[in-house]
Structure 1
């Protein structure tokens, strides 16, 4: 196999070689065996970071591992998980590792850090500058899916398990704007740019619109927004009351957190901030 590319154009050419590109989220809603049966030969299966969340046995099909970077470099490198996650993939189907960054402070890893495996890099910072909410970072799957839908408009892209819902086993991190991402992905799915499977196939608004076909769907969406806004306000009041009860505990929590040794990522973040100041 040839070396992996290090630029968006090269990666666009790489993905265009496959009939279908299946993105598999680290979610309980992603059924990998069913996806293999459904798509089979000709499809590239793209996995992300902590693949042990969805794989319990080696994966033998055409596959690519996407490793996200942080300020400390590739996450699977500084967490010492390279051998663990790569152990789920088998040659000759495993094409290697795509190291991705989507925020300027994220640092791409060096090829030697991935244990001699084929590694390519992609920098998507400019693609999301001015688009994604600035207080958050796009998730790895979202960033790659949006970029690929624009770079390869003729490519069939299937997103499996991208529900943005917390499960009993896995949590959602608040580093990402999950609401924003779901709005974008569902709009892309409705327009035919991508396909989404897993999670909720039909929303309550779809059912309402089908029940009352004489009502403009835009009116349904407007009323739904008004109802959600009212419920959100009620939730905010309840949270305020709850916070007033637990506020004394936040001081204790702050003390305990300061006593906890800083991680390497936190030290790098503080060092970067002091340099910028």
Structure 2
């Protein structure tokens, strides 16, 4: 059975030692992601083997909370990567490594591999800044409402790629879902008998250039359930998992869905 990225790092930490210790995140394929353990303070490190000439100027490297960029030569080979500085972020660092490994597997050559690392770190920058706070109750509730609408309504009438592309996921858009002929704004509330719905901007109900504009209200009954207990209903974590299963047969759609989840503020480390 293939070891997870976190298990590989735990294995490196158990070995210890006074030299750099490396593991490949996957055994096959080009542009492998290298997991490493720094000998000085035993920090976890993500490395990609790339020539220095392919790197962007240092001033362009994004600042990521809890991470530090580094370039290093090991056994005569140049590497570029990031070091984990804040051990409380180890879970999300493993998620970052898994995301990067999937991207690097599709990269065509070292230049594209370097571009993938740089691009994904810029994307992850916004999540790492706010990771320690996680998603608040209102943000989680809103995300659940949007994903429920996607799962329960859109996928029954639209092809998966079209439905996912229509989800704006926190982008600078007036409505949560936008298509050529219609747009829908989702409002999710836990109020038992809501008498009104809060509209954060009048543009959310601006139908200019939209064939049809809909307001979809989702009323949820929120309850805390122990992880080992079974209960009716659907958690945000299980809803994300269910949608990933739906998109599993289409790599491009699944990748876009995961990217949109990131933009919406969700990483799997937020799962209870």
TM-score (ref. length: structure 1)? 0.26
Higher RCO (Cα < 8 Å, 6 or more apart): 1
